[in-house]
Amino acid sequence: MKKIHPATKLTCTLACAALLAYAPAVLASGGGHDGPAVKVKSAEATVKAAISGNDQFTGHNDSHHFDGFQTGQTPTLTVVTCSDSRVHTHLFGMAPDNNIFVIRNIGNQVKNAEGSVDYGVRHLPTKILLIMGHSSCGAIKAAMGDYSGETKGIKAELDNLKPVIAADDKSGDANARWSKNVERNVDYQVKTALELYREKIAAKELTVVGAVYDFNDHYGKGRGRLVITNINGETAPNKIMDHPVLKELSRGEIVNHVGSLAPAL
């Protein structure tokens, strides 16, 4: 497989860019879709699909594909994103193997996975910490409502989103509020990361990027866009566009991948 230059990886990552795969009713209702019902595979068919898919993967990648990461990993991108089954690394358009260190939980929260984020930032050659929310996030919708009937574990994770929801003035359309709260949550998680890694950011060893994977086209840039909404705490789109970390992008790429729906926390 052809190697990708680190600068190209960063450019692709920033220029190309959850309801859970399995979740209780309050989270599973967060998709905002009334489309046709999808037939769910049986357990046996699911295992068969996974094994068949792995056979295809190994068939397409010979043994040399794994040479570069036999004894260690060297990703330059750490991603904190949601557990939602609609959110996966293929949105970056590059092989994730040894390139992307991924941490997932409901609501793409830093505090809920602080040790994992620490590992990506402090023990791996990560230059970018990308905190990525997404359209129709079920965790955000759940946190906006009454989730008292949920399990202890889910309630504990959703409780950490209370500061985000507290910034919602509850005015206007419910779906518009939901979308704004997704972005507010990204800003809140970026703020948390800035506090945790201030010395690395000050030393210019790390840049924290906040973004929304917008498969609903709420930002008007097309379905599936990765929309950058925050860089190191800066949320004004015109200032984000001039940030040095975006210097390898064309002006058109920057315009297509920078936006905002919500005022800063």
pLDDT confidence band for 20 (50 / 70 / 90): very low
Does some domain include residue 212? yes
CATH number of the domain within which 183 lies: 3.40.1050.10
- Is-contact 122 203, C-beta < 8 A? no
244-253 confidence digits (pLDDT tens): 999 999 999 9
Confidence of residue 36 (pLDDT cuts 50, 70, 90): low
Residue 137 lies in a domain: yes
Instruction: Report the C-alpha gap between 103 and 111 in whole angstroms.
Output: 11
Residue 121 in any domain: the answer is: yes
Rounded to a whole number, what is the distance in angstroms from the first to the last CA of the chain? Answer: 43
> Confidence band (pLDDT; 50, 70, 90) for 203?
very high
Residue 23 in this model has a pLDDT that exceeds 90 = no
Report the number of distinct structural domains present in the chain: 1
Q: Is residue 207 part of a domain?
A: yes
Average pLDDT over residues 187-199: 98
- 26 pLDDT band, cuts 50/70/90, is very low
52 contacts 248 by C-beta, under 8 angstroms: no
Which domain, by its residues, includes 138? 6-257
| Residue 1 placed within a domain | no
Examine residue 187 and state whether it is found in any structural domain, yes or no. Answer: yes
* pLDDT, the chain, mean: 88
**Cα 137 from chain centre:** 11
Q: Give pLDDT tens digits for 163-188.
A: 999 999 888 899 999 999 999 999 99
pLDDT of residue 51: 96
Asked whether residue 240 is assigned to any structural domain, the reply reads yes
Whether 263 maps to a domain, the answer reads: no
- The predicted model gives 99-118 an average pLDDT of 98
Query: Cα–Cα distance between 249 and 261 in angstroms, integer?
Result: 22
* Mean pLDDT in residue range 7-33: 41
pLDDT tens, position by position, 211-261: 999 999 999 999 999 999 999 999 999 999 999 999 999 999 999 999 999
pTM (2 decimals)? 0.84
Residue 225 buriedness (CB in 10 A; 0-12 / 13-18 / 19+): buried
Q: pLDDT band for position 263 (50/70/90)? A: low
Q: What is the pLDDT of residues 109-151, one digit of tens each?
A: 999 999 999 999 999 999 999 999 999 999 999 999 999 999 9
Q: How far apart are CA 199 and CA 33, in angstroms?
A: 43
| Percent of the chain clearing pLDDT 90 (strictly above) | 82
Q: What is the pLDDT of residue 222?
A: 97
Average pLDDT over residues 35-55: 87
Dihedral sign of CA atoms 37, 135, 161, 153 in order:
positive
